[in-house]
Chains A and B, each alone.
Chain A
Amino acid sequence: MTVATAFLAVTLALLLVVLVYVHRLAAGPTVFDRILGVNAFGTTSTVVLLLLGVLYDRLDMFVDVALAYALLTFISSLAAARYFERTGHQR
Chain B
Amino acid sequence: MTEVAVTALLAAGLFFHAVAALGVVRMPDFYTRLHAVSKAETLGVSLTLLAVAVWSGAGLVALKVLVVVAFLFAANPTATHALGRAALRTGLRPWSRREPGRE
Binding site for B on A (CB under 8 A): 2-3, 6-7, 10, 13-14, 17, 20-21, 23-24, 28-30, 32-33, 35-37, 39-40, 43-44, 46-47, 50-51, 53-54, 59-60, 63-64, 66-67, 70-71, 73-74, 77-78, 81-82, 84-85, 88-89
Contacts and interface: CB of A to CB of B under 8 A. Distances in A.
A81 to B, nearest CB: 4
B48 A40 contact: no
Q: Is the interface of A mostly helix, strand, loop or mixed?
A: helix
B92 A32 contact: yes
Given A32-B83, A44-B45, A89 B24 contact: no
Contacts of A82: 82, 86
B24 A32 contact: no
A53 B68 CA distance: 14
Given A63-B61, A78-B82, A32 B30 contact: yes
17 contacts: A6-B6, A20-B24, A24-B24, A30-B87, A33-B30, A36-B33, A37-B24, A43-B45, A46-B45, A54-B55, A54-B56, A60-B61, A67-B68, A84-B90, A85-B85, A85-B86, A88-B91
Contacts of B13: 10
A39 B67 CA distance: 19
A51 B83 contact: no
B83 A81 contact: yes
A54 B57 CA distance: 12
Given A17-B21, A39-B37, A74-B75, 15 more contacts: A17-B18, A21-B24, A30-B87, A40-B20, A46-B68, A47-B45, A54-B55, A59-B65, A70-B72, A74-B78, A77-B82, A78-B79, A85-B85, A85-B89, A85-B90
